[in-house]
Amino acid sequence: MEGRLINRSGSLPDAKTTPVADSSVLQIWGGHRLQGHVKISGAKNSALVIMAGALLCSGNCRIRNVPSLADVERMGEVLSALGVHVQRNGEILDIDASEITSSKAPYELVTQLRASFFAIGSMVARLGVAQMPLPGGCAIGARPVDLHVRGLQAMGAEVQIEHGICNAHVPGENRRLHGAKIYLDIPSVGATETLMMAATLAEGETLIENAAREPEVVDLANFCIAMGAKIQGAGTSTITIVGVPQLHSVDYTIIPDRIEAGTFLLAGAITRSEITLSPVVPEHLAPVIAKLEEIGVSVIEEAPDCLRILPAKALKAIDIDTLPHPGFPTDMQAPFMALLTVAQGDSVINESVFENRLRHASELNRLGADIRVKGNTAFVRGVPMLSGAPVQGTDLRAAAALVVAALAAEGLTTIQGLHYLDRGYERLDLKLQQLGAKVKRVSIGNTE
């Protein structure tokens, strides 16, 4: 890695002897049992889209249980660039969108945070106009936005894409979208959220069919309903929205992060530990818990918002197909693959949601796993033990998979690519340390 003094044996220079760091790595010494309780933060994928939804409100929105993540900071910067006031106070975010002074989202921010594109729905609904850069692809896929665009056009927006900018505007003097019947080719989370937000202020009724059913879609709907929106059917494949003239201030608490919770369940499973997690919404984790039970791990509802995982005697190989909710979540595929690398037998993982989301397999193989990838399918042959090595995260959940694997690998694992991890996990290293894991975040500097 250019400019970093990490030799491939994984030993790092003493952080004290290197200049002030411009980056950091995680050092994990595997093989230690975890114990105790971990607090789950607010859901990243709720926070991001609800921040975009705050643009619909011509007053103040107070959003609680907001995780402190790089992506949340970035979304705050996008809103500020539109002239919206964003005030953070711990887990509370105060957003005042009574004055939106610009309809032009900054290119350099949108390309770094795909979720900011979803704000096009609330901007066109509120302002009748939006200049939103196309988010472009990322490590896991091309990430097109055709369903978002087609839905807005069905609702009366005229959309031209030129020079990488999606220019949307609503013709006519009242510049108000109208309701429409929309069928999504794919139950896209983002498209469902963009169009649901747009429909809250449109004239008349909008029907979104083949809608995404993820808990974060329901969270956004509940946030909009709390502002006075008329939405029915969120969480099912058919959502009906009747537009209203405007939405009022709200004080709203977002749901816990089911993907962070699932990641900690896997950390417990792979280290044969007994830990508890809260707050959680157990039903949001139903597909993950079902797969853990199939492997041989017991997960108990300690309380309505608390789960306890018990150590398994043996981990059995299983097959996984990622699907839209309530199927097995694609965001849990990489961390789950880490667990299956040490299960007994052969597992088959099929990634059907994104076209390039198996890149973590090669990094897991550097830790001694036995994984073969053919197209969108990974064939995982369980091995008795992983062994520590320097590895590199290639996207947010791939980095999480390497952390899970490192907790069970013999010796030292050094993980680069923490900027990915910081996008979606709030102080993962500290939370793991509090559970007894031997984890250290080490700053390393540039070397001449």
Active site residues: 138
Task: Give CA separation, 38 vs 14, 112, 309, 405, 438, in Å.
Answer: 30, 29, 12, 19, 16
- Best CA proximity match to 30, nearest among 340, 409, 356, 420: 409
Report whether the peptide linkage leading into residue 279 is cis, meaning its omega lies within 30 degrees of zero.
yes
Out of 27, 112, 330, 333, point to the residue binding ligand EPZ (CB under 6 A): 330
- Best CA proximity match to 427, nearest among 448, 407, 442, 441: 441
Query: Rounded CA gap, 384 and 431, in Å?
Result: 27
Q: Does 115 bind ligand EPZ (CB under 6 A)?
A: yes
- Identity of the residue, 185 or 370, whose beta carbon is nearer to ligand EPZ in the bound complex: 185
Question: How wide is the angle at C-alpha 294 spanned by C-alphas 290 and 299, nearest 5°?
Answer: 55
Letters for 118-147 (x = contact with ligand EPZ by CB under 6 A, - = none) are -----------------------x-xxxxx
Q: Which residue is nearest to ligand EPZ (CB)?
A: 190
Q: Does 148 bind ligand EPZ (CB under 6 A)?
A: yes
Helices (H), 128-230: 146-154, 189-199, 215-226
Q: Does 155 bind ligand EPZ (CB under 6 A)?
A: no
Q: Does 351 bind ligand EPZ (CB under 6 A)?
A: no
Count of C-beta atoms within a 10 Å radius of residue 142: 10
Out of 396, 403, 412, 432, point to the residue binding ligand EPZ (CB under 6 A): 396
> Applying CB under 6 A, which part among 186-194, 200-208, 379-387, 405-413 lies near ligand EPZ?
186-194
Considering only residues 205 through 244, tell me which ones interact with ligand EPZ, judged by CB under 6 A.
Answer: 212, 214, 216
- Identity of the residue, 338 or 386, whose beta carbon is nearer to ligand EPZ in the bound complex: 338
Q: Does 189 bind ligand EPZ (CB under 6 A)?
A: yes
| Closest CB 216 distance from ligand EPZ, rounded Å | 6
- Best CA proximity match to 242, nearest among 194, 192, 216, 208: 208
For residue 158, report the phi and psi dihedrals to the nearest 5 degrees: -95, 125
Q: Does 161 bind ligand EPZ (CB under 6 A)?
A: no
Site residues for ligand EPZ per CB under 6 A: 44-45, 48, 114-115, 141, 143-148, 186, 188-191, 212, 214, 216, 330-331, 353-354, 396-397, 424
